[in-house]
Amino acid sequence: MDPQIAQLVDISKTQVAMQARAEMVLERARWASQVFHRYDRAKTMAIADAVAQAAHAKAAEYGEWAVRETGFGVAEHKTIKNQLSSIPLVDYYRDWNFVDPNMDERTGVIEIPKPAGVIFALVPSTNPISTLYFKVLSALMTRNAIVISPHPAAQKCCIDAAKTLAEAAMSAGAPEGVIQVLEEISLPLVDEFMKSDKTDVILATGGAPMVRAAYSSSNPAIGVGPGNAPVFVDATADLKAAAGYIVESKSFDNSVLCTNESVLITVSEVAASLERELTRAGAHICKEGEVDSLRKYLFHERGFNVESLGRDATWIAEQAGFKVNRNTKILVAPISMIGVGEELSREKLCPVLGYYVANSVDQAMKQARALLRLSGAGHSAAIHSNDNQTITDYASAVEAYRVVVNAPCSQGAAGFVTNLAPTFTIGTGFFGRSSVGENVGPQHLVNWTRIAWHKNGPALSADDIGQLKHPGPLPKAPADGVPGQGRPVSVTSTAAGAAAPAARDDLREQIRLIIAEELRDILKD
């Protein structure tokens, strides 16, 4: 036989095959979301609580795994982030009701929540597990189904975490397929998911090209832009506290959070004192030659050197060609300008902090504004000051939607040491070309149907609100030999699309149950 005839043709990478894989996963998610919409608030929150507890229990394991797999960050700090995006996240939103109707007491308008449906969620390599936890729990609290697309660099830990959460959700009564994860990743496949009409909304956390692709997919998207936060320390600040917070923030998880301080700006009258406090807190103030070496190492003709992403300060210094104390937490690089001509005034997802000394408060504010206009518009900024007018002037001047005061910006802008909403998806609003300007949360995964009466009609009270009917999970069909019954279905769907006959049989059976129930309701009427 001719070898060419015997050779099998691999069509798995064709657009048609990619589209078929995406459609199968999304169709299962759509069914799960439709069943999930039937759940009342008590059942919904019970599922969210069960998943949050499972997530919290494995926070340390996944923190270590993420560092081992990606090669960057600090396991202890990733554990903290994982913990904060589990039980505390659900507790923060516990008093929010995304299930039942409510009334606007001022207008008398009644609002009925409508979940988005199917969420396609992109997860970055920098904060993989904490972002996955955050997006899954946000979806569950709002009765949405979610499909996770991990970054290839953190794929294994994300797949395992998604399976863990899916199993916990199903054990608590969630529909099968409410949490799915792609086990094989490719850009063409991700593109098929983003542009499919079965995807209701895209939650894009990642690099700028991926976020832009999400916005150009033709589907609704909530994306985030890059950070490049300025931090201003004025003459009224508690310099010791400010230095401690800045070093703590910039060294947290080796600065992979996009909310970290990028350039420290102060005024000349307190510069020397601030530098002493920074050194005491664990910073190394770089000499001119060291700054040049850092600049050459961290940036090349294609941009930021990703080899330095999330690496510790001593390792970066060694790669750049100079030595620092082994206890050094961050490298502080003095610069004489902020703008296009100074690469160190760009975002640096590593413990390297630009440092600019201004002649006046007015110049400091102008430089902070210039920094965000260079990159990071709409994201975050920080200030250490005890003058309320200066704080207000600064917040008014910078094009940022989060201004953290006298606190570490990494944790503060993300809502973990401030009263901002806790999140791992930072909206950059109009300044950053984003659809959302606040910290993204479950409230962005629900829209509301509003019932409005004539203005001259009788006044209404909360007691006048009709109750939504939540029939709950579908009843189990009797074990009558119907294919697929009594057989567990994998809680994830692979990107290879290999799920197949059993999953399809179960999907058909679940659809049959929905139709049967609807027919019974019709016959009753």
Residue 423 has a pLDDT of 95
Contact 25, 190 (CB under 8 A): no
Mean pLDDT, residues 184-189 taken together: 90
Residue 236 and residue 280 in one domain:
yes
Helices (H) and strands (E) in the chain, counts: 18, 17
Residue 202 and residue 349 in one domain:
no
For the stretch 130-156, pLDDT in tens is 999 999 999 999 999 999 999 999 999
Sign of CA dihedral 387, 390, 396, 400: negative
Residue 101 and residue 189 in one domain:
yes
| pLDDT range class, residue 286, cuts 50, 70, 90 | very high
Over 21-65, what HEC string results? HHHHHHHHHHHHHHHHCCCCHHHHHHHHHHHHHHHHHCHHHHHHH
Residue 205 and residue 233 in one domain:
no
Contact 147, 29 (CB under 8 A): yes
Does this model's pTM top 0.85? My answer is yes
Does 200 fall in a domain? yes
Q: Which residue has the higher pLDDT, 458 or 46?
A: 46
Does 3 fall in a domain? no
Contact 130, 423 (CB under 8 A): no
CA distance linking residue 200 with residue 178, whole number of Å? 14
Q: Which of 157, 158, 258, 409 is catalytic?
A: 258
For the stretch 354-408, pLDDT in tens is 999 999 999 999 999 999 999 999 999 999 999 999 999 999 999 999 999 999 9
For the stretch 38-49, pLDDT in tens is 999 999 999 999
Residue 245 and residue 206 in one domain:
no
Mean pLDDT, residues 62-85 taken together: 97
Give me the residues paired with residue 233 across strands.
Answer: 266, 384
Mean pLDDT, residues 72-101 taken together: 97
| pLDDT range class, residue 489, cuts 50, 70, 90 | very low
Among 8-17, 48-57, 157-166, 269-278, the least confident range: 8-17
Helix (H) / strand (E) containing 280 = helix 268-281
Q: Quick one: which of 56, 54, 80 has its CA closest to 67?
A: 80
Mean pLDDT, residues 228-238 taken together: 98
Amino acid 145 reads: A
What one-character DSSP code corresponds to residue 183? S
| pLDDT range class, residue 490, cuts 50, 70, 90 | very low
CA distance linking residue 52 with residue 48, whole number of Å? 6
pLDDT of 172 above 60: yes
> Which residues have a Cβ under 8 Å from the Cβ of 466 and sit 6 or more positions away?
101
Does 314 fall in a domain? yes
Among 85-94, 102-111, 205-214, 408-417, the least confident range: 205-214
What's the CATH code of the domain at 246?
3.40.309.10
Residue 329 and residue 355 in one domain:
yes
What's the domain count of the chain? Answer: 2
Residue 60 has a pLDDT of 98
Residue 250 and residue 195 in one domain:
no
Q: Quick one: which of 181, 189, 150 has its CA closest to 14?
A: 189
Does 324 fall in a domain? yes
Structural domain that includes position 370: 229-413
Residue 484 has a pLDDT of 36
What's the CATH code of the domain at 183?
3.40.605.10
Does 518 fall in a domain? no
CA dihedral (87, 89, 90, 96) in degrees, to 10, reads 160
Residue 238 and residue 220 in one domain:
no
Residue entry with tokens 């610069």: 335
Residue 160 and residue 260 in one domain:
no
Q: Which residue has the higher pLDDT, 469 or 377?
A: 377
Residue 185 and residue 236 in one domain:
no
| pLDDT range class, residue 224, cuts 50, 70, 90 | confident
For the chain, give the mean pLDDT. Answer: 89
Mean pLDDT, residues 339-346 taken together: 94
157 as an active site residue: the answer is no
CA distance linking residue 90 with residue 467, whole number of Å? 25
Among 167-181, 194-208, 459-473, the least confident range: 459-473
Q: Which residue has the higher pLDDT, 480 or 76?
A: 76
Does 458 fall in a domain? no
Residue 348 and residue 446 in one domain:
no
Residue 461 has a pLDDT of 76
Does 465 fall in a domain? no
Mean pLDDT, residues 4-26 taken together: 74
Does 198 fall in a domain? yes
CA distance linking residue 314 with residue 311, whole number of Å? 9
| pLDDT range class, residue 64, cuts 50, 70, 90 | very high
Contact 54, 161 (CB under 8 A): no
pLDDT of 485 above 70: no
Residue 334 and residue 273 in one domain:
yes
Q: Quick one: which of 248, 191, 227 has its CA closest to 425?
A: 227
